[in-house]
Each structure stands twice: as C-alpha cells, then as structure tokens.
Amino acid sequence: RDRTRERVRRRLREFDVGARFSRLPLPRAAVLLPLLVRGGALHLLLTVRSLQLRRSPGEVCFPGGKSEASDKDEIDTALREAKEEVGLEPEKVEVICRLVPGIDKMNYLVTPVVGFIEDTFQATPNPDEVSAVFVVPLEYFVKPLIHSTLPYATSSGHSSWMHCFMYHDQEHQTSFKIWGLTAHFALFLALAVYGERPTFAVDYDIDNLVSSAENNFMNLYASVSKRKKSNL
C-alpha cells in the first residue's frame, strides 16, 4: 500500500496546477477526489446526490460544492464539503494535488482536489445531501466494461465529448451511471495515474496530457467568456 501511494504521489505531482486557474473571473466550486488503496488496487470514492436536492438529484458525483467566503482556497472548499456530506474529517485526507479544472453547466469553475484517504474510512452520509456512498476501481475509468461517448455542446456553444460509465457495484448490488463532469475528472485522474491509453477514444493527446488538458480547458473557458460578453 505504501509503495502504491508513493508511486501515485510522484506521478500526480507532475499534474498539479496549484492555483494557476484560481483567479479566472468565474464563481468557484471544488470537489474532492478521494483515493484509497483496497486489495492492492486504487479506488475512488463517489457519492449519489439526495433525491431531495433541487439540482441534479440522484446523480453520481464527488463530495464538493460552492466556495464560501471563509474558504482559504479550493482545497479548503473540497475538504469542508467532504466533511459536511460524508463525515470525512479534513485531517484524515492527505491532499496530493489540484488538477486542471472544469466548468459546470452553471458556469462555475470547478477544481478537482485529489487526496488519499484510509481504506478503513466509514462514511456517514448527510441524508439531506447524499443518498449513497460507493467506491470504484480507478482502473475502471480506462478499462470499463460499459462505456459510451456522446458529442456534447455546452450552453456557450463549445463542442466536446461526454463520457458515460456504467458500473455495477457488488456491495450495493446496484448499477451506477457516472457521467458529465464527474466522469471527466475520474477519467483524467486515471489517465494521469496509469499513463496508458484507454480502451476508447479521448480528446486528449495522451503523450502530452497536461498541455492538452490545459488547452481543452482554455478553449472551453474562452467560449464561456465570449458568451458572457455577448450577453452584456
């Protein structure tokens, strides 16, 4: 387990964008991508949004949410939200890096924060926000059993690909649909960690993953900015 963690730490340091995109003039949010080692393999912890929520009820996501004035940075936001949603204490997370952000359908700048948690962590979901918690082998996002890719155009007119993974969880005897920005972040993390080509097409240059991810993001940001200016 320690060797696996150290290998991942070294690998992901190459992908840490820090606060490089933090000053872009968009409202901010952050999510925590909690990594754990189970049975010698890397896994990601995900949640299912409560059906009581007005926005995206029942959808799979990572712990996270909007930044608050008291948050020092995106790491603070991600850790605070993870505690509120699943009872994960901030001191129980070994933060590794911040990856290239995304922009959600509400035009929030969403920063993915990657951190290790212990495989013994027992989630205590806040029922107002979370209806289920489950884990997926990280490798599933480069070697999935059920995957589809759909062309997608954002509200700003930017065209890209949307990935959708179907994962059957044996513990819950339930199939989960992982798509949208959640799938986008999980896929990129898996590509970064494993450094290998997935079993399906992606809109990244695998040999220049960091630069192609940043170029994709800046193209998306440019389209959002252009639309905002045209609406003024």
pLDDT of res. 156 = 61
pLDDT band at 230 (very low <50, low <70, confident <90, very high): low
Task: Encode pLDDT of 44-94 as tens digits.
Answer: 999 999 988 888 889 999 999 999 999 999 999 999 999 999 999 999 999
Judged against a pLDDT cut of 50, whether residue 148 lies above it is answered with yes
pLDDT of res. 228 = 61
Quote the domain boundaries for residue 46.
1-230
**CA–CA separation, 176 and 159 (whole Å):** 26
Share of the chain above pLDDT 90, in %: 82
Helix pair 180-194, 209-230: axis angle to 10 deg: 160
Alpha helices for the chain (secondary structure H):
2-13, 74-86, 180-194, 209-230
Torsion, Cα 68 24 15 192, to 10 degrees, reads: 80
Of residues 22 and 54, more confidence is placed in 22
Mean pLDDT, residues 98-105: 95
Give the CATH number, domain containing residue 131: 3.90.79.10
Name the domain count of the chain.
Answer: 1
pLDDT of res. 88 = 98
pTM, full prediction = 0.94
pLDDT band at 232 (very low <50, low <70, confident <90, very high): very low
